[in-house]
Homo-oligomer: A and B are copies of this chain.
Amino acid sequence: MPAERPRPTIADVAERAGVSKGLVSFALNGRPGVSPQTRDRILEVARELGWQPSLRARALSVNRAFALGLVITRDPEIITGDPFYPSFIAGVERELAPAGQALVLSVVPDEEAELAAYRKLVADRRVDGVFITDLRHDDARIELARELNVPAVTLGHPETPSPFPAVSMDDRAGIEAAVDHLVRLGHRRIAHVAGPARMLHGSRRRRAFEDAMARAGLPADLVVETDFRAADGARATRDLLAPPDAPTAIVYANDPMAIAGLGFAQRTGLRVPDDLSITGFDGSDVGEHLFPALSTVATEAAGWGAVAARVLLRSIAGEEPGDTDLPPARFVPRESTAPAPPSPPANG
């Protein structure tokens, strides 16, 4: 067994090159005050020795973590179905890796643990900045991040005044396009299976639904609030379809619920889209392969992650990046939406 050779330090490089530690540091960081020959010699020796800077030592002396923090709050059940985060994270990584930064991920079951997770991340100085996703009304995390004095970026504009840059994607447009599409197809009774009202995107999508309905001169009286879980989608669909004046179209606030809703409708013998039109939200690729393929609203989660990461890095670097607006979510009509069925003969 070969002896465990300790990795070379900057002192080894300095000694071998016959200069001081400080000069090595200067040379390696490309700072002025080092003659070209000396610089080359130092670089050469460093290469020769296979020297790699110790991120830990650097972290301690420059007081940086070289990492960003993401806290995901999801009850364990819902997390499996949600297509958003995996894509979002892939986008974040695309930006972080080349910048030599890492992503520290925390997955917590509830909002209490969430705040604790942010506190811990910052207390340990594990990260230089944090993502704040899934904004809620009166979101305590804004205040917490301010109090902890940690750079942050919010996904979407918070309601309360926030000192942090926001990277937003207009999801209203997608919902409105979905409703308009359904209205054009002749639907009059359109329901919405909404996300939790305490979440900004939950209530914003609902509001967009209501506005679009109002513009079409239709009542937005069929709205069910849920927790974004597939099971909720099935339950909400059951409740919506039970009464005699059931909707002919349902706009779901995410794909897993739409898929479950589709399943429920089919189970009761309804034909989708002939008897009932259905739209989802977030464009998981599996929806494309259902029968009927799910009409949905595509949100470019990966691009969102990349931009948010970039903004956060600039924010940490001391710039003050303004708010960013991403291209709005696009409605993608597929097969689960069709002209409204002929209305049943009026009763009386």
Nearest-neighbour CB distance to chain B for A288, whole angstroms, equals: 7
Chain B CB within 8 A of A150 CB: no
Nearest-neighbour CB distance to chain B for A241, whole angstroms, equals: 13
Chain B CB within 8 A of A242 CB: no
Interface size on A, residues (CB 8 A): 66
B263 to A80, Cβ gap below 8 A? no
Chain B CB within 8 A of A82 CB: yes
B103 to A105, Cβ gap below 8 A? yes
Indicate whether A259 sits within 8 Å of B289 (C-beta atoms), given known contacts A76-B90, A86-B79, A105-B89: yes
B79 to A90, Cβ gap below 8 A? yes
B256 to A286, Cβ gap below 8 A? yes
Which of B60, B83, B87, B266 meets A60, CB within 8 Å?
B60
A82 / chain B contacts, CB cutoff of 8 Å: 86
A54 to B125, Cβ gap below 8 A? yes
The stretch of A38-46, A203-211, A226-234, A338-346 that contacts the partner chain: A226-234
Q: What is the interface of chain A mostly: helix, strand, loop, or mixed?
A: helix
Q: How far is the CA of A200 from the CA of B161 in the complex (A)?
A: 51
Which of B76, B83, B105 meets A81, CB within 8 Å?
B83
Indicate whether A107 sits within 8 Å of B89 (C-beta atoms), given known contacts A234-B289, A288-B230, A302-B76: yes
12 additional contacts (CB under 8 A) given A93-B105, A104-B105, A286-B286: A52-B124, A54-B125, A59-B60, A81-B284, A97-B106, A97-B120, A230-B289, A231-B285, A234-B289, A256-B285, A263-B291, A267-B291
State the A residues within 8 Å of B (CB).
Answer: 4, 52, 54-57, 59-60, 63, 65-67, 74, 76-77, 79-83, 85-87, 89-90, 93, 97, 102-108, 117, 120-121, 123-126, 149, 229-231, 233-234, 256, 259-260, 262-267, 284-286, 288-291, 293, 301-302
